[in-house]
Amino acid sequence: MNVLFIEPAFPANQREFVRALASIGANVLGIGERPYDWINDETKGWLGGYQQIASVTDEGALEWAVREAQSRMWIDRLEATVEAHILPAAHVRERCTIPGISARTAYLCRDKVAMKEVLRRAGCRLRPQPPYRAQQRRAALPKLLATR
């Protein structure tokens, strides 16, 4: 399985996803903003390739990198774990016909108000929201500050 993984080295915990994929036999190819030389040797050992682009949230640049990889091999997955990368990855995944989470699903996972509206329209009963507590906290703030 060939997996394109967005930002395999930043933040530092990303390398654990790369390690896990490689440990089960995936050929992991990275796409990221950092120069390849900045990636530590252990992570490099888990990568089957790497493409640097200016910004992984620039969908045009991301799509170019994905299509470059697709011109060399079949790509089974395009994965991202950083929240800011999820929606660009979903858009590019759809344009490049790579299976995975759709842009609509990615959007709904990030926008809780929209997600709840979709669930309500589908007939799901959601727990009523508690009273707006920020107002209560703001009202209590002067008293709290006076005691310190």
- Looking at residue 130, its pLDDT comes to 64
Rg (CA), the chain: 21
pTM value? 0.80
Percent share of the chain, pLDDT over 70: 86
Check pLDDT > 80 for residue 20: yes
Mean pLDDT of the chain: 89
Question: Crossing angle, helix 103-110 and helix 112-121, to 10 degrees?
Answer: 110
- Mean pLDDT of all residues in 45-65: 97
Residues 66-84 have a mean pLDDT of: 96
Count CB atoms within 10 A of the CB of residue 37: 7
Lookup: tokens for 1: 């399985």
Task: Say yes or no to pLDDT of 42 above 60.
Answer: yes
**Per DSSP, what are the bridge partners of residue 118?**
none
